[in-house]
Amino acid sequence: MVACGQVLACWTLLALLAGVSADPARYDHFRLYRLLIETPAQVEMLQQLEKQSDSYAFMGHARQPNQNLTIMVAPHKIAEITELLQRYELQGSILLYNMQELIDREKATIKPKGTRPEEFAWQFYHHLDTINEWLRWQAGRHPELQLLELGASYENRSLYGVKLGTNPANSGVFVECGIHAREWISPASCTFVLNELLSSDRPDVRRLADRFNWIIFPVVNPDGYRYTFEGDRFWRKNMQPYGVCRGVDLNRNFASDWNGPGASNDPCRYDFAGGSAASEPETRALVEFLERHVAQWRIRTYFSVHSFSQLVMFPYGYKVDRVPNYDDLVAIGRKGVDAIERAHGARYVSGAMIETIYPSSGDSVDWVYSALGVPVAYTFELRGPPDSTNMFVLPAEEIIPTAEELLAAFIAMLGEATRLSYYDGERQEL
Ligand SMILES: *[C@@H]1O[C@H](CO)[C@@H](O)[C@H](O)[C@H]1NC(C)=O
Ligand SMILES: *[C@@H]1O[C@H](CO)[C@@H](O)[C@H](O)[C@H]1NC(C)=O
């Protein structure tokens, strides 16, 4: 009995040590498949597969014939998937044979911890602490930049953001980034945009900084973001445990048809909606902040920045009804997409969320639009394209062009929304 107790103690100690030093998930020989679903039988088979096995990571769900779907397949399932694809006559291609190679290659483009804010650069990805230090440093250098701190995540980290601009006559633009942990291009692009707003000499950028007050939160899921550096590069959710699984998809946790279509009530799924609407501390922090400031700061524009698929989407995600200002949002979205293409030739698609990507409920953009009446609300999916071979692991040399596209879209979209009188004072109603 004594020996057993000692073994147990030793084991516990090992587990503790493992928690301190990094022992990250590996994706050796995980493959990426792109499938073209053509028949109802194929839809049903893929739905069964997703439900019954966590060895297949679905990027979206199988919903209908005439749909492309990307899935990541664990190496011990390669024979099984090969057989299934043959038996169900599923067309598809293998985009990538070893996901770990992507992750390993990316490591060289991560600036080490402890990087000083002066060395912050967009040829690299940055740790959470580096981003927060950089925000603090910028706030110290620019009197018009105020550091905002919302508390706190499940693991007790603050959500840091900034407010740029102090003119009370200006309309507020809220930029929410990094709600999905693995989408590193989101915080990278949002910090780039902030830096341009602070320091660019370009007249169009200066106008943007002068005419709007900007509220930018580069990483609203700080626990998840940290975990993608030290635990699992493909983690999406926050870190709150629910039974043996953990993590809530924060972009399914808002009170916009919470736990409806395109969300899961299973804590082990990537799109788990949480215990209830706004069950998560990160969601609550955002909700309370927005409720408190939406009128006071005249926040009439909300941008949520994600990757990948190259989309510019507006509400709704949870129902097919068109929003009251649908035509305006189509026009504003089109301006964004055109500006993006002019920047570096990348092709984005714009449209209502449910018509463009897939049904999703409980997301932040639907909530700010429906509950807070923010009339200009968009979700961006940045590079790469829908059939991207690197998904969330976008090569660092694409950070700057991608972020320049986002800035170009902001300029064009805010210009069009201004033209459509969305910022003409308090009279403007939905
Ligand atoms: C699926 O992908 C192929 C190849 O990229 C494309 O030609 C086709 O239009 C896509 N189909 C749908 C329904 O998105
Ligand atoms: C959370 O952080 C605050 C301030 O950083 C600290 O005072 C508090 O003790 C922390 N709480 C826990 C549970 O770690």
Beta-strand ranges (E) seen in 126-271 are: 145-150, 159-164, 171-177, 212-217, 241-242, 245-246
Compute the half-sphere exposure of residue 355: CA atoms within 13 Å on the CB side of its CA. 15
pLDDT at 161: 98
Which pLDDT tens digit goes with each residue over 22-31?
A: 699 999 999 9
Residues 218 and 273 occupy one common structural domain: yes
pLDDT at 427: 41
Residue 259 resides in a domain? yes
Residue nearest to atom 14 of ligand 2 (CA): 156
Q: Tell which one of 156, 157, 240 to mutate to probe ligand 2, the residue whose CB is within 8 A of the most ligand atoms.
A: 156
Closest C-alpha to 317, from 285, 273, 267:
273
Cβ-contact 203, 420 below 8 angstroms: no
Residue 11 resides in a domain? no
Which DSSP symbol is given to 421?
Answer: T
Q: What integer is the mean pLDDT of 30-44?
A: 97
Annotated catalytic residue, options 381, 398, 404, 416: 381
Ligand closest to 281 (CA) is 2
Residues 282 and 347 occupy one common structural domain: yes
Residue 10 resides in a domain? no
Tally of structural domains, the chain: 2
What is the rounded CA–CA span in Å between residue 182 and residue 234? 5
> Is the pLDDT reported for residue 77 higher than 90?
yes
Residue 395 resides in a domain? yes
67 Cβ closer than 6 Å to some ligand 1 atom: yes
Residues 355 and 282 occupy one common structural domain: yes
156 Cβ closer than 6 Å to some ligand 2 atom: yes
Ligand closest to 388 (CA) is 1
Global confidence as pTM: 0.93
> Is the pLDDT reported for residue 320 higher than 50?
yes
Residue 105 resides in a domain? no
* 429 among known catalytic residues: no
What phi, psi does 214 have (nearest 5°)?
-105, 130
Q: What integer is the mean pLDDT of 313-340?
A: 97
Which pLDDT tens digit goes with each residue over 369-412?
A: 999 999 999 999 999 999 999 999 999 999 999 999 999 999 99
Which pLDDT tens digit goes with each residue over 295-304?
A: 999 999 999 9
Residues 399 and 325 occupy one common structural domain: yes
Question: Which residue range is the domain that position 289 belongs to?
Answer: 111-420
pLDDT at 3: 45
How much helix, strand and coil, in percent to the nearest 5, is found in the chain?
Answer: 40, 20, 40
> Is the pLDDT reported for residue 10 higher than 90?
no
> Which CATH number characterizes residue 390's domain?
3.40.630.10
pLDDT at 11: 53
Residues 219 and 253 occupy one common structural domain: yes
pLDDT at 22: 66
Residue 383 resides in a domain? yes
Q: 65 C-alpha vs ligand 1 centroid, how far in Å? A: 12
Residue nearest to atom 3 of ligand 2 (CA): 156
Q: Of 43, 66, 97, which residue is a domain's last? A: 97
Residue 14 resides in a domain? no
Q: 66 C-alpha vs ligand 1 centroid, how far in Å? A: 8
Residues 297 and 403 occupy one common structural domain: yes
Residues 338 and 410 occupy one common structural domain: yes
Tell which atom from ligand 2 comes closest to the C-alpha of 158: 5
Q: Of 44, 68, 97, which residue is a domain's last? A: 97
Q: 385 C-alpha vs ligand 1 centroid, how far in Å? A: 11
> Is the pLDDT reported for residue 73 higher than 70?
yes
> Is the pLDDT reported for residue 168 higher than 80?
yes
Which pLDDT tens digit goes with each residue over 335-361?
A: 999 999 999 999 999 999 999 988 899
Residue 103 resides in a domain? no
Residues 82 and 136 occupy one common structural domain: no
Query: Between these two residues, 357 and 427, which has the higher pLDDT value?
Result: 357
pLDDT classification of 1: cutoffs 50, 70, 90: very low
Residues 201 and 339 occupy one common structural domain: yes
Which pLDDT tens digit goes with each residue over 191-209?
A: 999 999 999 999 999 999 9
Q: What integer is the mean pLDDT of 68-93?
A: 97
pLDDT at 358: 84
Length of the chain: 430
Which pLDDT tens digit goes with each residue over 246-267?
A: 999 999 999 999 999 999 999 9
* Mean of pLDDT over the chain: 94
pLDDT classification of 425: cutoffs 50, 70, 90: low
> Is the pLDDT reported for residue 114 higher than 80?
yes
Q: What integer is the mean pLDDT of 82-103?
A: 96
Q: How far from 166 is each of 141, 172, 416, CA to CA, in Å?
A: 15, 10, 23
Query: How many Cβ atoms from other residues are within 10 Å of residue 345's Cβ?
Result: 9
> Which CATH number characterizes residue 56's domain?
3.30.70.340
What share of the chain in percent tops pLDDT 70?
93
Residues 118 and 263 occupy one common structural domain: yes
Which DSSP symbol is given to 110?
Answer: B
Q: 223 C-alpha vs ligand 2 centroid, how far in Å? A: 14
Residues 349 and 237 occupy one common structural domain: yes
Q: 158 C-alpha vs ligand 2 centroid, how far in Å? A: 10
> Is the pLDDT reported for residue 170 higher than 70?
yes
> Is the pLDDT reported for residue 19 higher than 70?
no
Residues 85 and 159 occupy one common structural domain: no
